[in-house]
Amino acid sequence: MRFAKMQGCGNDYVYVDVTKQMIPDPEKTAQFVSDRHFGIGSDGLILIASSEVADFQMIMYNLDGSRGEMCGNGIRCVGKYVYDHHLTDKTTITVETLAGIKTLELTLGEDGLVSKVRVDMGSPIYDAPKIPVIFPKDRMINEPIEVKGKLYHGTAVSMGNPHLVIFQEEDVRGMDLAVVGPHFETHETFPKRVNTEFVNVLDRQHLRMRVWERGSGETLACGTGACAVCAAAVMNGLTDEKVEIELRGGILTVEYNRASETIYMTGPATTVFEGDIDVPNIGDPTPDEDVRIYSM
């Protein structure tokens, strides 16, 4: 299988152009390639396919093999892949996802390759049933939620996938997300599980966050999560409409245009390496899988 490993702010995925090759069992393939010991190592698998309604289609799988609706960091890398691999010569493209069609504006570096991407992420959704959230009110905005015996206050937002944003005084850098994250992800309030962002407000233009993603665990960045954080911060009156969000893997710029109810995200997209890997007849990966890496 020919692949590219790419990352946006450290949120890394394996990318495969399925217009040129077939992936017979993408769920198990995602689990195999994501393994950081016996596979390639990633937060999941993203397939780039043709589309009848957009320029391209993004099909996303988390590292546990579950299907994801949308990934903000992932879609930026899709934009870089299709341009750098000469699948398009356009610098404004559309990409079909399970969360709708997204428009990407590509910025080229001095080498003629894509260096960063601005994405129209669409409108945030606050209606509890649409997120979905099992909650007695129409919206969950700064509402109490008890998790593992501790009371938090959270704002639920969908950016095509469900998010719970927790603003807190405690420095997020000292949290043990591996302990608390799974309890949020599988909380009974969220029937389709949830991505959870823990956030410090530094000032009205700067935030710091860590994220526990459903199906992947803690990742270095989450694009849809950063957009949800911006939306929640504005809804709670904590920040201006344009903010820089510090994640473990880098900084994303997010703008919430309240007039159009649209969120725009801008950030880097980077190719780490490309290569070929022999995908086993999908069973448990073994240590002697042959991985051949080609230099860029």
Measured CA distances, 259 to 239, 245, 256, 262, 263 (Å): 16, 22, 9, 8, 11
- Least Cα distance to 122 among 91, 167, 157, 92 occurs for 157
Catalytic residue among 77, 222, 227, 230: 222
Per the residue annotation, which of 9, 71, 227, 230 is the catalytic one?
Answer: 71
Contact 164, 135 (CB under 8 A): no
Query: 45: how many CB neighbours lie within 10 A of its CB?
Result: 29
- Annotated active-site residue 227? The verdict is no
Helices (H), the chain: 26-34, 72-84, 177-185, 223-235
Q: How many CB atoms lie under 10 A from the CB of residue 17?
A: 18
Please say if 222 is a catalytic residue.
yes
83: nearest Cα among 72, 74, 92 = 92
Which residues are annotated as catalytic? Answer: 71, 222
